[in-house]
Amino acid sequence: MSNGDEKVCGTVRDALTAHKMDFQEADIQHATKFTVKSGAQSASINVYNSGKLHVEGKISELKTWLDQLKESIEKGTGGPVALLPAEIEKFPQTLRERVPDCDDVVLWFFQESLRCYKADSVAGAAFMLGAASEKAILLLIDAYATAIVDEGHRNSFLSRVNNRMISKKYDEFKASYAGCKSKPTDQLLAQDLTQLLDGAFNFYRHTRNAVGHPQIVPDLEKGVILANLGQFIIYIDRIYMLMRHFQKNGVVV
């Protein structure tokens, strides 16, 4: 039997288990202490035999989450939203490590998207992610155009992409790249590259447009947006690998 109130202990235990939290339970004087960890963060919620709850720990997102859990139990409104796993918190750091030369605008919008997601604004996250993707694709198209070896072909390509919508620019790039004679031979870049770019670019663009054009309320799944936040790192990595290939080898069309 726990030192803390059995019913409240059960509620806390169930909430931590449901949210897949890493926790340990131990009895202390007049209470049961649930010590919770998420990455480098650690905090605890104590359940006293009177049923009273008390949260301890340094200020962190984990402690804030436990404060929300405490409030929800006291008010009987259910548990808080699931805490972001530690690896999601490191998304911006992971992007910087994989792409050290990542454009500041791309990084800023990606970070804003993550902030929106953490604030439970799925529409805001989708919009910001779409903006980050658009900037990255514009950089890719510019790098491709600059690297076209033949001046006539370069000017022709630029005339087709200048002052066009991003979707038209991308279509022109895709059509030109399909006939490129200097594509990368590296397996990682050569295999399914266009499918990766196509799938990610169109997803980010469509979800951004769903938010940015207010004809209807957008139908956005939070889990899908989270998955594409993680996919964005791979997407940007491939874009920058391709840009470096163009810069080093030139583009022959």
Phi, psi values for residue 84, rounded to 5°: -65, 130
**Residue whose C-alpha is closest to residue 247's, from 179, 184, 163:** 184
* Tens digits of pLDDT across the chain (253 residues): 678 888 889 888 888 887 778 899 999 999 999 999 887 789 999 999 998 999 999 888 788 888 888 888 887 755 565 666 666 778 898 899 999 999 999 999 999 999 998 888 989 999 999 999 999 999 999 999 999 999 999 999 999 999 899 999 999 999 999 999 999 988 777 766 777 888 889 889 988 888 887 766 777 877 778 878 888 998 999 999 999 999 999 999 9
H helix and E strand count, the chain: 11, 4
Same domain, residue pair 16 and 129: no
Same domain, residue pair 44 and 106: no
Same domain, residue pair 14 and 92: no
Q: Tell me how far apart the alpha carbons of residues 99 and 237 are, in angstroms, rounded to a whole number.
A: 6
pTM of this structure: 0.69
Asked if residue 158 belongs to a domain, the reply is: yes
Cα angle vertex 95, ends 131, 113, to 5°? 35
Q: Tell me how far apart the alpha carbons of residues 124 and 119 are, in angstroms, rounded to a whole number.
A: 9
Same domain, residue pair 113 and 185: yes
pLDDT at position 157, please? Answer: 96
**Cβ–Cβ < 8 Å for 225, 208:** no
Same domain, residue pair 130 and 179: yes
Q: Tell me how far apart the alpha carbons of residues 162 and 172 are, in angstroms, rounded to a whole number.
A: 10
Record the tokens describing residue 24, joined without a space. Answer: 């340990």
Q: Tell me how far apart the alpha carbons of residues 161 and 149 are, in angstroms, rounded to a whole number.
A: 17
**Residue whose C-alpha is closest to residue 119's, from 81, 92, 153:** 81
Contacts 24+ apart (CB under 8 A), 187-194: 188/241, 189/238, 189/241, 189/242, 189/245, 193/238, 193/242
Q: Tell me how far apart the alpha carbons of residues 150 and 15 are, in angstroms, rounded to a whole number.
A: 63
What is the DSSP-derived secondary structure letter of residue 148? Answer: B
**Cβ–Cβ < 8 Å for 102, 113:** no
Name the domain count of the chain: 2
Same domain, residue pair 54 and 107: no
Q: Tell me how far apart the alpha carbons of residues 49 and 4 are, in angstroms, rounded to a whole number.
A: 4
Asked if residue 19 belongs to a domain, the reply is: yes
Same domain, residue pair 111 and 38: no
Q: Tell me how far apart the alpha carbons of residues 16 and 174 are, in angstroms, rounded to a whole number.
A: 48
